[in-house]
Amino acid sequence: MDYKHSPVMLNESIEALDIKPDGVYLDLTLGRGGHSSEILKKLSTGKLICFDKDEQAIIESEPRLSKINNNYVLVHADYMNIKDVLEKHGIKSVDGILADIGVSSPQIDDFARGFSYSKDARLDMRMNQKQKLDAHFIVNNWSEVELVEIFRYYADVMLPQRVAKGIISNRPIDTTLQLVNIIRESLPAAIVRKKNPAKAVFQALRIAVNQELDALKKLVNYAPKILNKNGVLAIITFHSIEDRIVKRKFGTFIKDDTGKLPIIVSKEWTVKTKTPSRNEIENNNRSRTAKLRVLKRRKD
Ligand SMILES: C[S@@+](CC[C@H](N)C(=O)[O-])C[C@H]1O[C@@H](n2cnc3c(N)ncnc32)[C@H](O)[C@@H]1O
């Protein structure tokens, strides 16, 4: 079992959840169980429900969690379906919810899954391998308008029209490195020299394939409603497009959507924002863009 991928902002998120040994907790993004393991260690009679829409995450985390205790349930589901899953398990309210969103390091490192722009593989990028829509379909079928829209709104792709036109005129495109070359050839050399333009295009495609922003929007609308008194919703995001969704929604609870202050308190809610320590950023480059936003219910 490979635990080399460090969970991002682990101490900060566990501290924010302020775990009660008999509480009910949700880890909506199990991954390899880094955060879930720490939550589980703090539970005596409490319960942890772990979601992941990637079956591999469930399979690989089970042995790790089972060594700690049996107070967990693994659910192969999209957290968009949180309401149905909780109903099925007879859970009406919870004490804490963690979402460490986006793609996991093991997903990127398994080149065959097509998330990486540095190794050749079939265009795929599905977190849930049972899902139909994949990057291959989007790249080969979506219109110029649709491609430009995701390039612009999901990733700030530079000159999105040029990239979209380049893609459409080079169809069919089967693999990641074929796509990388087409992106490079579609853009002026000066842009390509500055930074790898494939990074943003791959991010946009990944978000579109996995409907990541739709899931996050549903989550921030629904999750606060099921928090018990002192219950916590903690969300770790990795880029400004995701963070903006969380910041705006949390801002509505405290009548302020600037999201700039580290702690804001109203009668009913507390909102906190944290970034990784310098030490964590030095040791884990993936954490450098992370932001943890925490919403806590203060009243019933
Ligand atoms: C950044 S990783 C989480 C890492 C985890 N916290 C750990 O310590 O190992 C994100 C995980 O969430 C999953 N995921 C992303 N969006 C999801 C969604 N809408 N529903 C369920 N799982 C999702 C991904 O498949 C991936 O395994």
Residues within 6 Å of ligand 1 by CB:
7, 29, 31-35, 51-54, 57, 78-80, 100-102, 104, 127, 215
Atom in ligand 1 nearest the alpha carbon of residue 29: 12
Atom in ligand 1 nearest the alpha carbon of residue 236: 1
Q: Whose CA is nearest to atom 20 of ligand 1?
A: 78
Contact (CB, 8 A) for 80 and 214: yes
Q: Which of 46, 132, 45, 53 has its CA nearest to residue 94?
A: 46
**DSSP string for 191-203:** HHHHS-THHHHHH
Torsion of CA 25, 30, 35, 41, to 10 degrees: 60
Q: What are the chain's domains? A: 10-106+212-297 (3.40.50.150), 112-210 (1.10.150.170)
The model carries a pTM of 0.96
Pocket test for ligand 1, best of 11, 30, 68, 206 (most atoms within 8 A of CB): 30
User: What does residue 249 show for φ and ψ, rounded to 5 degrees?
Assistant: -70, -45
Q: Which of 24, 65, 59, 60 has its CA nearest to residue 41?
A: 65
Give CA–CA dist 205/147, Å, rounded: 9
Given a cut of 80, whether residue 4 has pLDDT beyond it is no
| Structure token digits, residue 107 | 């997903």
Per-residue pLDDT tens digits for 117-151: 999 999 999 999 999 999 999 999 999 999 999 99
Distance from residue 136's CA to the centre of ligand 1 (Å)? 22
Distance from residue 215's CA to the centre of ligand 1 (Å)? 12
Mean pLDDT of the chain: 95
State residue 108's pLDDT score. 94
Distance from residue 160's CA to the centre of ligand 1 (Å)? 28
Pocket test for ligand 1, best of 13, 39, 82, 104 (most atoms within 8 A of CB): 104
State residue 195's pLDDT score. 86
Give CA–CA dist 276/289, Å, rounded: 8
Tell me the pLDDT band of 5, cut-offs 50, 70 and 90.
confident
Contact (CB, 8 A) for 93 and 231: yes
Atom in ligand 1 nearest the alpha carbon of residue 27: 6
Given a cut of 80, whether residue 300 has pLDDT beyond it is no
